[in-house]
Amino acid sequence: MRFLTFDKAGVETVGVRFGEEIVDLGLAAPQLPTTLLGLIEQDLLEEAGLAARNAAGHARRPVEGLVYLPVIPRPPKFFGFGLNYPSHVTQRPASPGCFISSSDRLVGHDAPIVAPLKSRTLDYEVELAFVFRKHAKHVKRRDALDYVAGYTVFNDASVRGFGGGVNLSLMKNSDRTGPLGPELVTPDELPPGCDGLSIQLRRNGKVVQSDNTANMFWKVDEGIELISSFMTFNAGDVVATGTCGGTVADTHREAILKDITDESLPYLRAGEVIESEVEGVGILRNPIVDEVLA
């Protein structure tokens, strides 16, 4: 199934997509939780899918015109891998370079990514992300995929001028720089662990990142085993699995190592459009705008 979250007259609403139409679960199954997070927390995705398949015509509407929200607008925890592809780092590091992001960072499909006034050094990072379906602690790799509710696409747009290292949290947490969506795809529609899928980012229609999830250092199951050995995860927590090579930081590495704050490098600018795609999971499209003070 393909679940999404959209804005209906200012109300966060769950939809299930079938081709070019969606089922509004608020109309099809009003007895169910009204958010995707609620459905996951109560282990009701299967029941919601059944209700959507049997929905009457009044609960159906075209996909066109939807105002998408982040697939889970306020995940309890958003956890990211920074170093997970050989095309992004030359050799497997000791750890995948983990970080945590705020939900204030998240935006939906077709929503603008906001380049902050503080630093015009906004970079792009296409990533596969997954959502936990239940409590997870000390999970064994052989059991790990049973903990996944579904998969989605993330763009870890990073403000390089804030720097890495001690400032990694600033680089990864500027408001409205993290598109998440457009849908949460249940595991039965995808290869186990989303292994072997192409991953790509297009900047104004030109491919600038291209790789395959088969090349990740830490596959989804191994990643779950690793991070759950340190931290507790719960239903609705989101994990982004890291980006591949081709970012501005990759293609201009020497210049960035010399001066990471150099705004003359070809970072994202207002008016551009980026499309982040994971094969079979979805295409996440977002324009770039400049931050404007209220």
Q: pLDDT by residue (tens digit) across 2-52?
A: 999 999 999 999 999 999 999 999 999 999 999 999 999 999 999 999 999
Q: Do 109 and 208 share a domain, yes or no?
A: yes
pLDDT, tens digit (0-9, with 9 covering 90-100), for 274-283: 999 999 999 9
What's the structural domain count of the chain? 2
Mean pLDDT value of segment 266-292: 97
Predicted local distance difference test score (pLDDT) of residue 146: 98
Mean pLDDT value of segment 125-149: 98
Average pLDDT, the chain: 95
Q: Do 215 and 269 share a domain, yes or no?
A: yes
Q: Do 53 and 107 share a domain, yes or no?
A: no
pLDDT, tens digit (0-9, with 9 covering 90-100), for 164-175: 666 788 899 999
Q: What letter represents residue 56's amino acid?
A: A
Q: With pLDDT > 90 as the criterion, what percentage of the chain qualifies?
A: 89
Range of the domain at 191: 78-290
Q: Do 133 and 257 share a domain, yes or no?
A: yes
Residue 184 belongs to domain with CATH number? 3.90.850.10
Q: Is residue 69 part of a domain?
A: no
Predicted local distance difference test score (pLDDT) of residue 167: 78
Mean pLDDT value of segment 77-106: 93
Q: Do 106 and 16 share a domain, yes or no?
A: no
